[in-house]
Amino acid sequence: MNPLKVKEKLQSFLIEDIGERDISTGWLQDETTTVDVLAKQTGTLAGIGLLANGYQLLNEKIEVITYKSDGEVIVAGELLARIKGPASSVLSGERVLLNLIQRMSGIATATAAAVRELNDPNIKICDTRKTTPGLRLFEKYAVRCGGGVNHRYGLYDAVMIKDNHIDACGGSIHATVERAREVSGHLVKIEVEARDEEEVIAAVDAQADVIMFDNANPDTTRSWTRHIPETIATEASGSISPDTLSTYRGCGVDYISLGYLTHSVQALDISMNHTMEATDYVFS
């Protein structure tokens, strides 16, 4: 992740929560606390480095040691990190940082499960733009931690031509691709969403860089891939759930994009608890 964007986002999130001051910890004086970050569920970890990033913004005296890395499998009860520093600052950052790590780890866990369920080394699992506003940077990173790859980040790094774009351009896929390429330039890839076989063939003729098979079942997907030359990448998307994902194994596309990885994922349960067992030597 871009460290400048991470810092900017974390500052914004902490300011949103703390406001002018944290009145829940303001009565603490010079107390020092040590807390453990523990996994309460088994899954794939993502975002653990945000603890150090976030706490350095709050108080440079806070020390963070991590015992697990992003992308690693964690099990319930496992120690993920230990934090020591002024109690007021440690407690002020707890909720924001845990919220991020729990959500990111939930996404990484769902992505890893999708990769296992598909079980096809020739097809990559990727995300979509169906992300939480303000969290796209973190959520797309979490997908990579789970073994997936990223689709476009936004409207600025790739062209996605859908039915509304085609209709607005007079109904011609070829004309739409041609106009998009003139404006975007030769270094920007153009993807065309195809809803039927006729549109697949038209997208091939228009020399799209990527063709998405929209809401096509596995058999239809296999049928459409026979029209695609090796120079064009393919993607299956729409109406693919954890229950149906395995039926796309061997369907012939290069990518399967899954909106549910980010728009309806369940956070992984991770806690931060004061510990009486920590000793100073751990931080030396």
For 73-82, 116-125, 184-193, 268-277, which range has the lowest pLDDT when averaged over its residues? 268-277
Joined tokens for residue 239: 């109406």
Collapsed DSSP state (helix, strand, coil) of residue 212: strand
Q: How many CB atoms lie within 10 A of CB 199?
A: 19
Residues 102, 72, 84, CA angle at the centre, nearest 5°?
A: 60
* pLDDT band, very low/low/confident/very high, at 23 (cuts 50, 70, 90): confident
Active-site choice (95, 157, 163, 196): 95
Those residues whose C-beta lies under 8 Å from the C-beta of residue 127, and which sit 6 or more positions away, are 111, 139, 140, 143, 148, 150, 151, 257, 258, 259, 261, 262
Those residues whose C-beta lies under 8 Å from the C-beta of residue 242, and which sit 6 or more positions away, are 113, 114, 117, 260
Number of residues assigned to the chain: 284
* pLDDT band, very low/low/confident/very high, at 276 (cuts 50, 70, 90): low
Residues 178, 179, 184, CA angle at the centre, nearest 5°?
A: 100
Mean predicted confidence (pLDDT) in 255-283: 82
Active-site choice (94, 139, 199, 214): 214
Instruction: Please confirm, yes or no, whether 162 is among the known catalytic residues.
Output: yes
The residues that bridge with 265 in the sheet, in sequence order, are none
Show the domains of the chain with their CATH numbers: 3-113+266-283 (3.90.1170.20), 119-263 (3.20.20.70)
What is the DSSP code (8-state) at residue 149?
B
Tokens 């806690």 locate to 271
Tokens 């369920």 locate to 117
How far does the chain reach from its first CA to its final CA, in angstroms? 29
Active-site choice (120, 193, 199, 235): 193
Active-site choice (7, 68, 130, 179): 130
Collapsed DSSP state (helix, strand, coil) of residue 142: helix
Instruction: Please confirm, yes or no, whether 214 is among the known catalytic residues.
Output: yes
Joined tokens for residue 168: 């607005």
CA dihedral 111, 112, 113, 114 (to 10 degrees): 50
Active-site choice (162, 179, 195, 222): 162
Question: Are 139 and 171 contacting, i.e. CB atoms less than 8 angstroms apart?
Answer: no
Taking the C-alpha atoms of residue 52 and residue 275, their distance in angstroms, rounded to an integer, is 19
Mean predicted confidence (pLDDT) in 254-270: 97
Segment 238-253, tens digit of pLDDT: 999 999 999 999 999 9
Taking the C-alpha atoms of residue 133 and residue 229, their distance in angstroms, rounded to an integer, is 36
Instruction: Please confirm, yes or no, whether 95 is among the known catalytic residues.
Output: yes
> Residue 56: which H helix or E strand, with range?
helix 50-58
pLDDT higher than threshold 50 for residue 281: no
* pLDDT band, very low/low/confident/very high, at 278 (cuts 50, 70, 90): very low
> Residue 167: which H helix or E strand, with range?
helix 163-168
pLDDT higher than threshold 80 for residue 185: yes
| Its pTM surpasses 0.75 | yes
Those residues whose C-beta lies under 8 Å from the C-beta of residue 124, and which sit 6 or more positions away, are 148, 149, 254, 255, 256
Q: What is the mean pLDDT of the chain?
A: 94
Those residues whose C-beta lies under 8 Å from the C-beta of residue 176, and which sit 6 or more positions away, are 161, 165, 166, 169, 192, 206
* pLDDT band, very low/low/confident/very high, at 280 (cuts 50, 70, 90): very low
